[in-house]
Amino acid sequence: MRLGVNVDHVATVRQARRGRLPDPVEAARLCERAGAQGIVCHLREDRRHIQEDDVKRLRKTLTTRLNLEMSIARDVVRAALAIQPHQVTLVPERRQELTTEGGLDVVRARRSLAPLIRSFQRQQITVSLFVDPVPTQLKAAQDVGAAMVELHTGRYANAGSRAERVRALDALRRAAQASRAFGLSVAAGHGLDYHNVSAVARLPELEELNIGFSIISRALFVGLEQAVREMVERMHRRPSHVFQHQAA
């Protein structure tokens, strides 16, 4: 199971003063040193945190893989094709949202997604689609030619009761199995933290977890390398009973 660390929020702090520090590229270097197997950043349309120059510098300096989250807005696509990250993860984007709120509606966007995915693949850029754990979306992801899906774990992470969490984890399990059956590689992310990550990390079909907010928040108190190491350790730990799920 790989850990991809999202460094957007390092750039969020920098943008508070519009200066040069803290540098998300330096943060990425520390994450890699602490055991992250990939770095994720989101070039948002409003450029509220990560800037194009950050993505270019990450691409030049990373020793692991750069996974660029992005919408399908024309200028962002142009930037991505020029910078050539190892992977792009296509996400829906609304300007007013605090973070990515739902999965991509692949069923609806099928026609525009298929040629876009081909243009990335022509440049050997892996394309992942960020989707809700719903069978129709997974089938559509296969139909449009994506190599990978990232399952949205927000419902699981934000569940208000144990019963809701159990249902959400079950949906993730079934979606991970279905994705593999469709020949898709499977990642997951959004809202994962030190308490809820273990149960998700045990789903055998999942290859990668992408985590940002909880790691960067923890880093304020223990330092970034320690925060990443702790997350790697939690990913390999048995889940506490609160997050365990007994259903088949």
Binding status of residue 133 toward ligand PXP by CB under 6 A: no
Distance of CA 168 to the CA centre of its chain: 18
Q: Is 241 exposed, middle or buried (0-12, 13-18, 19+ CB in 10 A)?
A: exposed
* Of residues 70 and 83, the one with the C-beta less far from ligand PXP: 70
Pairwise CA distance, residues 5 & 9, whole Å: 11
| Site track 98-127 with ligand PXP (rule: CB under 6 A), x = hit | -xx---------------------------
Pairwise CA distance, residues 157 & 117, whole Å: 29
Instruction: Select the residue interacting with ligand PXP from 89, 137, 196, 198 (CB under 6 A).
Output: 89
Binding status of residue 91 toward ligand PXP by CB under 6 A: yes
The interface with ligand PXP within residues 35-74 (CB under 6 A) comprises: 42, 69
Q: Are 233 and 198 in contact (CB under 8 A)?
A: no
Binding status of residue 24 toward ligand PXP by CB under 6 A: no
Clarify whether 42 is annotated catalytic.
Answer: yes
Distances, alpha carbon 103 to alpha carbons 7, 150, 153, 202, 224, in Å: 20, 9, 10, 22, 28
Total of chain residues touching ligand PXP, rule CB under 6 A? 19
Pairwise CA distance, residues 119 & 115, whole Å: 6
Clarify whether 86 is annotated catalytic.
Answer: no
Catalytic positions are 42, 69, 190
Binding site for ligand PXP (CB under 6 A): 6, 8, 42, 69, 89, 91, 99-100, 130, 150, 189-192, 210-214
